[in-house]
Amino acid sequence: MPRLARHLYLRPYVKLSGKLHPGSSGMGLPNRYSRALVYPTERLVDLRLARRSRRRTENNHDLPPPSWQWSLHTLTALPPSQYIQTFYLLASAACLATAALPSDARSLLADYGARKAASSPPAKRDSALVALVAALTSRGQVPHSWFTAFYTLSVCCSLFWAWQFLGSGVVLRGIAERQAGTGPSASLGQTAAVWGMVLVQAGRRVYEHAVVIRASRSTMWWVHWVLGLGFYLFLSVAVWVEGSGKERWLLGGWKVAVAVPVFVFAWVNQYRCHKHLAGLRKYSLPSDGLFSHLVCPHYACECLLYFSLAVAGAPEGQWLNRTLLCATAFAVVNLGVTAAGTRKWYADKFGEEAVAKKWNMIPFVF
Ligand SMILES: NC(=O)c1ccc[n+]([C@@H]2O[C@H](COP(=O)([O-])OP(=O)(O)OC[C@H]3O[C@@H](n4cnc5c(N)ncnc54)[C@H](OP(=O)(O)O)[C@@H]3O)[C@@H](O)[C@H]2O)c1
């Protein structure tokens, strides 16, 4: 038999069984006998049993997989972006739940930095909840200046992902492969722009902590610190995860063109706010620039910064990047709760009039 014909003729059997059965010469037409020769007997029995069990399952519609198996399967099938979104949304829900607590418990859990130093401990701890929260938060206080770890981590993560991208690293490839094809993607140019924006922001914050911000003895609960580290760790992946499926550079360039000026505005003004705060006698009422209209303009700038990232990184056909939008939502909720605490602190210290004409964080809204 010519070589090519023999090859074509034998192929179905080679494909079916993986290898030729030693007893099969491969000669003659493919029929159920020659198939039996190619398939070892045990394999045929296996196939028959599998067919019978499939038929039984088809007839028994009342046999769904156990619920834990279903949950595990659903969880492992989720794209990486959804894990990050879930983290941000759960963290936002936790902040909202804290804000809904009675004011003593809320203040113990949510206040940090100067607000915490100012808030006197509740006089009577007759509520079991307040006593429990006071006992919990009295342990594990860390310096407010440890915020610097967030930005150092952010810079390190940005550099790590750049190194992974340039060297086709296995961690980045693993995440990108699980994400690709699960939805529309942002372009490479957009992803590079968002990456740069996050690096520039974190770099400036590292500089501020090293040079601008004055040392203090104010503290925060370790839970705030760990939550902050989680925020920046996930942010470093949120920057590129929705850009996993594109190799083109320019697509969506107009989104970057809109987002960058907003980012620059927020970036510059947040620096001004931090410089103003650093120049104040501890603790006095800030009133320069945006502080004349807002209690916490540096928080407003932070929210605007993240919103601009969500616009810049929006995948094809979408206005916003959902993962970065969830990060923005967390920043809004978290900083909103802190801004409300700051307003109360200033009102207690300088009188209600001092903050009466100011918005907490978002002009005309909050
Ligand atoms: N993405 C997020 O979820 C998130 C979360 C938290 C913070 N951040 C960002 O991180 C930055 C800092 O936040 P923060 O909550 O630490 O701000 P903050 O509590 O207002 O403190 C910022 C700095 O200003 C000082 N300060 C505050 N009020 C002052 C006053 N009345 N007089 C004198 N000094 C004053 C603080 O001193 P002390 O050290 O003595 O308190 C601290 O050094 C903000 O821009 C914020 O947007 C982001």
Predicted confidence (pLDDT) per residue in 12-38, tens digit:
333 333 343 443 333 333 444 334 333
Say what the pLDDT of residue 51 is. 64
Q: Does residue 280's CB lie within 6 angstroms of at least one atom of ligand 1?
A: yes
Looking at the CA of residue 346, tell me the nearest atom of ligand 1.
Answer: 31
Which residue matches tokens 């207690």? 348
Pairing state of beta strands 219-221 and 141-143? Answer: antiparallel
How far is residue 358's CA from residue 114's CA, in Å, rounded to a whole number? Answer: 19
Please state, for a pLDDT cut of 70, what percent of the chain lies above it.
79
Buried b (16+ CB within 10 A) or exposed e, 289-324: ebbeebbbbbbbbbbbbbbbbbbbbbbbebebbbbb
Q: Which atom of ligand 1 lies nearest, measured to the CA of 217?
A: 40
| Cα dihedral sign, 243-247-249-254 | negative
Hey, which residues does 359 pair with through a beta bridge?
294
Report the candidate in 265, 155, 287, 282 with the shortest Cα–Cα distance to residue 210. Answer: 155
232 ligand 1 Cβ < 6 A: no
Which of 92, 204, 211, 335 maximizes ligand 1 atoms within 8 Å of its Cβ, making it the mutation to test the pocket?
A: 335
Q: Which residue has the tokens 């770099």?
A: 203
Distance in angstroms (rounded) separating the CA atoms of residues 178 and 175: 5
SS3 82: helix
Q: Where are the domains of the chain?
A: 3-59, 80-356
Identify the residue whose C-alpha is closest to ligand 1 atom 47. Answer: 299
Measure the CA dihedral 351/104/326/302, to 10°: 30
Q: How far apart are CA 320 and CA 211, in angstroms?
A: 35
- Whole-number Å distance, alpha carbon 181 to ligand 1 midpoint, is 40
Residue 318 structure tokens: 């979408």
pLDDT band of 115, cuts 50, 70, 90:
confident
Tens-digit pLDDT profile for residues 206-222: 999 999 998 888 999 99
For ligand 1, say whether the CB of 216 is within 6 Å of any of its atoms.
yes
pTM, 2 dp: 0.80
Report which of 244, 133, 241, 250 is spatially closest to residue 189, judged by C-alpha positions: 250
What tokens appear for 24 in the block? 């099969």
Cis amide prior to 33 (ω within 30 degrees): no
300 lines ligand 1 (CB under 6 A): no
pLDDT digit string, tens, across residues 124-148: 556 888 888 888 898 899 999 999 9
**302 CA closest ligand 1 atom index:** 47
Residue 207 CB neighbours (<10 A): 13
Q: Is 307 in the pocket of ligand 1 (CB under 6 A)?
A: no
State the DSSP string of 161-207: HHHHHHTT-HHHHHHHHHHTTSS----HHHHHHHHHHHHHHHHHHHH
Helix (H) or strand (E) holding 143: strand 141-143
